[in-house]
Amino acid sequence: MNDFTDKNVLVLGGSRGIGAAIVRRLAAGGGQVAFTYAGSQQAAEDLAHETGATPIRTDSADRSELLATVAGRGALDVLVVAAGALVMGDPLGIAADAVDHMIDVNVRAPYHAAIEAARRMNADGRIIVIGSVNGDRMPFAGGAAYALTKSAVQGMVRGLARDLGARGITVNAIQPGPTDSDMNPADGPMAETMHGFMAIKRHARPSEIAELTAYIAGPHAAMITGSMQTIDGGFGA
């Protein structure tokens, strides 16, 4: 297990799902972990009680609120952006406001949070965004806008890796495939369709995504930057 003792960690979107698993993993590794949530106050308080991490209510879609939270944590060692929104369906029918909100949470927020964190991040810091294998592959209808947001993360990661490399700061995306969470339950209506695209025909557990995230956040991953780390049971193969 990587040692995150005394590391200053912020996880955006840590109250549920993949983000909560990352909070658990990095806190178990000794990190001083804070995490944000938007609507799930009870889940956030329960997770704080369980892990000792600090919950902060922050809507990622509100840029000034987001920047204040990131700046308020001081010199970070690790920033993980796990907050995400999903809007799927016939693009001719989806509400434009819902798509724009998803772009705010999935694209604008990771970018602005990363920049704000970089202003005062410690040397050899880690910026990690939870993207998706759908940034590479969208094999069914209804996912154009979501795929757009996840492909945008890829461009940001590649570019920022070059901007921040001189300080030893790495910037990477973790790209899960189907992962059991409220967003995509393992017993949901789309599960069988998704498993049909996979070599390992099951949803990942959030803890599996968290373990890869911990590796990328740790000292052994110093030469991994500008990369997409796909963990998808072969969905994109």
In this chain, which stretch among 69-77, 89-97, 157-165, 177-185 interacts with ligand NDP, using CB under 6 A? 177-185
* The one among 2, 7, 10, 17 contacting ligand NDP by CB under 6 A: 17
* The one among 45, 50, 163, 182 contacting ligand NDP by CB under 6 A: 182
Residue 236 touches ligand NDP, criterion: CB under 6 A: no
Q: At what angle are helices 17-28 and 206-217 packed, to 10 degrees?
A: 50
Please give the angle made by the CA atoms of 1, 60 and 114, to the nearest 5 degrees.
60
* The one among 94, 183, 186, 231 contacting ligand NDP by CB under 6 A: 183
Our CB check for ligand NDP shows the closer of 40 and 225 to be: 40
CA dist 237 and 230 (Å) reads 10
Beta strands in 4-81 (DSSP E): 8-12, 32-37, 54-57, 78-81
User: By rule CB under 6 A, what count of residues binds ligand NDP?
Assistant: 30
Residue 32 touches ligand NDP, criterion: CB under 6 A: no
Restricting to residues 123-152, name those near ligand NDP by CB under 6 A. 130, 132
* The one among 16, 24, 73, 137 contacting ligand NDP by CB under 6 A: 16
- Least Å from the CB of residue 178 to ligand NDP: 5
* The one among 32, 172, 179, 213 contacting ligand NDP by CB under 6 A: 179
CA dist 110 and 173 (Å) reads 11
Residue 203 buriedness (CB in 10 A; 0-12 / 13-18 / 19+): buried
146 is catalytic: yes
Phi, psi of 42 (to 5 degrees): -65, -45
| Residue environment code for 158-173, b if the CB has 16+ CB neighbours within 10 A, otherwise e | bebbeebeeeebbbbb
Q: Which residues carry out catalysis?
A: 146
Which residues of this chain interact with ligand NDP, rule CB under 6 A?
13-19, 36-40, 59-61, 82-86, 105, 130, 132, 176, 178-179, 181-184
